[in-house]
Amino acid sequence: MDQLTFQVIELLVCFAAAVIVALIAKGLIPALKNTMTEDQFKTVKEWVQTFVFMAEQVFKNTSGADKKQIVTKRVKQILEQKDISMTEQQISDLIEAAVKGMKIAEGKTKTEINVTNVNSSEGTEGNDADQ
């Protein structure tokens, strides 16, 4: 009876391990397929920049929001064709970065660095006491 109990427990452990592996694989494989390689990201970034430049040239009399919708739609189309997954926020961030880069390149946006001058009180404490 002890041997039979041991075999049943061993079989249950093997079954549980197989179920766990199957569940992990079911979630992991699609996640791996949706993971973008560095080359894919660079390519998508280049597409976005190209579409932003195109929208700026072709749709000169169109509002910025409408241009963004046009670019977003085109980016989504090409991502779907290439079976690449990106969130709305990721697409939006890439478009905003491309627009900012384009404006900086054209000199339409100033890049400012604010530097705050902080007077150090180091070494002045002793001087105050002497006075």
Least confident of 5-19, 36-50, 117-131: 117-131
Distance between CA atoms of residues 60 and 125, nearest Å: 61
Tell me if 48 sits within 8 A of 95, measured CB to CB: yes
Would you state the pLDDT for residue 120?
45
Distance between CA atoms of residues 11 and 22, nearest Å: 16
Concatenate the DSSP letters of all residues of 103-126 into one string: HHHHT-S------------TTHHH
Report the chain's C-alpha Rg in angstroms. 29
pLDDT in tens, 77-114: 999 998 888 888 889 999 988 888 888 887 765 555 55
The residue extents of the domains of the chain are: 36-106
Distance between CA atoms of residues 79 and 91, nearest Å: 10
* Span 13-34, average pLDDT: 64
**Mean pLDDT for the chain overall:** 76
Q: How many CB atoms within 10 Å of residue 2?
A: 6
Q: How many CB atoms within 10 Å of residue 38?
A: 7
